[in-house]
Amino acid sequence: HGTASSQFSYKSPQEWSKQFPTCGGRRQSPINIDSRNSQIKEYPPIRFNGYGKAPRSMNVTNDGHTVEITTTWANQEVPTISGGPLNGPYEFEEVHFHWGNNNHVGSEHTINGRQFSLEMHVVHFRKSYGTFTEALKHGDGIAVLGYIFFGTSNSDNNEGIRRLLRSTAPQQAFGPGESELISPFPLTFFNLDFTRKGYYTYLGSLTTPPCTESVIWLVPKSIRNIDSRELAAFRSFPLDNEDDHDYRPVRPLNGRSVFSVRG
Ligand code: SG4
Ligand code: ZN
């Protein structure tokens, strides 16, 4: 596994900028979201399109830094989100997760200084840019939904996470480079709706090298619950460099605005 993306470790995120200069930029993610310093803003409602349909195929991969789900779709059936701060539709790309080695760390974004146990990223690119790679060249090219979870003994029922973990469980270790086709299910199984409590939005970056500054972040305000046993399953995925977590510490805001959108 010798790709550029494997050349970083979560043990030394302060060193990423040596190899990937943008990681030292002024529009980096994640950030601490200070609810009292966020500006209330009104946007058109967020719309999820096509998320209720199962993809043609679904793949789970450990890329050495996270476990991610990628999909293939019949023509014209790729799900999109639109509305909110987004101009036009953004196509679904993949889902992946960030976790820590105990329940008090793991999320990438923090809320009023508080870190949670896991963050699920649903990644999209602006459809008008044609491809994900092309979209990365634009400041509004990528939209990531960052769902925050806290570990408890009684989780919300998240069928998507349950199926993901069930599919990887049989192996003793679902390690870097491992990949597996799973039986396709609709992305709505991840309980993506967040209209009830609203969300925060700000302009940031990819949270991994090369830390490209092309992301419109949307962070739902409601914190979800995840079963501690499910968190243990995430922690059991071996990562590159024997990393025991895959969250990046928060980066400075550098004068950016964080907007609060009510539900
Ligand atoms: C994870 O490493 C994903 O596997 C990457 O996806 C993703 O990179 C990276 O995180 C950064 O995304 O939402 N955390 S983040 O800012 O989406 C990209 C792939 O490499 C480019 C496909
Ligand atoms: Zn991520």
144 ligand 1 Cβ < 6 A:
yes
Residue 143 Cβ inside 6 Å of ligand 1? The answer reads: no
Name the catalytic one among 65, 96, 98, 109. Answer: 65
In terms of Cα–Cα distance, which of 231, 201, 204, 230 is closest to 215?
Answer: 204
pLDDT band at 92; cut points 50, 70, 90: very high
* Ramachandran angles phi, psi of 241, nearest 5°: 60, 20
Q: Tell whether ligand 1 has an atom less than 6 A from the beta carbon of residue 212.
A: no
Give yes or no for residue 208 CB within 6 A of ligand 1: yes
ipTM score: 0.96
**pLDDT at residue number 1:** 41
Tell me which of 96, 122, 145, 250 to substitute to probe ligand 1's pocket, judged by most ligand atoms within 8 Å of the beta carbon: 96
Taken in order 149, 155, 161, 167, the sign of the CA dihedral is positive
- pLDDT, tens digit (0-9, with 9 covering 90-100), for 101-158: 999 999 999 999 999 999 999 999 999 999 999 999 999 999 999 999 999 988 788 9
> Which among 10, 196, 223, 195 has a CA at the least distance from the CA of 111?
223
d(CA 185, CA 9): 32
Which numbered atom of ligand 1 lies nearest the CA of 121? 13
**257: which 2 tokens?**
């605005």
Q: What is the pLDDT of residues 167-212, one digit of tens each?
A: 887 556 899 999 999 999 999 999 999 999 999 999 999 999 999 9
Measuring from atom 10 of ligand 1, which residue has the nearest CA?
208
From the CA of 68, the nearest ligand is 1
Active site residue 98: no
- To the question of pTM greater than 0.95 for the whole model, the response is yes
How do 259-261 and 86-99 pair as beta strands? Answer: unpaired
